[in-house]
Structure 1
């Protein structure tokens, strides 16, 4: 099994968003403490509890950052936190299409092996810049019928929806 290419997630905006939310909540909580005339001990308790937000955000960030899409000569592999989440042979990929999971856009890889079929969700947003190249690779390995007509870019004036046209 020779690795052809490894794709890494794009995470540069995640830290900024998490930090902005933390600063907003810290400022709001501090203002509320002043308005309610709470003591310094109560505000310190609030500050220590807000560190839980930083811990949870750090875990989420490292989980996203650890994702890898590995393309070999025969397989498509998604790894998360060092563990293999999906390992799909190209010969079993029946279809790949856009989808949604918990409100976030994903790519659904429909794999069929004999009479068994499975839908493998693969993250879209952290790999959004890599998907153009990934789709070309999958099209070469599986044929154009597996990809179909899929526009990943929004046309001018098009609403941001993931419904099939």
Structure 2
């Protein structure tokens, strides 16, 4: 029952914030991310607010199956958007753009975090700064796909964007 209540609170919070985001002309995915932050272990959970089910990282790990299932549906949805003829036509371009984007993101985040390391070396070890830079290069396919679907985006940019996200 506690699990169902936690999921209900998460879904309700996401729904309410998405309605609010729509009024200020933001994508719904922005509201879902904010809802996750608010009811997660580092915001309300840090204050020990009972009843949400997301008070600690152990609670978050309990929802791993649900998270993996959702990511599977997202991957299926991205694959469903591809047309083989289109993928053959823009595959090389998408690969080059994806590699450049990953390298550039890694370098920028690494530079910022290494600079921060010299400001607070006891809080941010150099190894952690470099690893976080590499992690930052991963794109969020769920957020990208949700924005594309919400606005029913079509065209050459969207045709290139989805293969890049899938890579």
TM-score relative to the length of structure 1: 0.30
Q: Which has the larger radius of gyration?
A: 1
Larger helix percent: 2
Higher relative contact order (CA 8 A, sep 6+): 2
Larger strand percent: 1
TM-score relative to the length of structure 2: 0.30
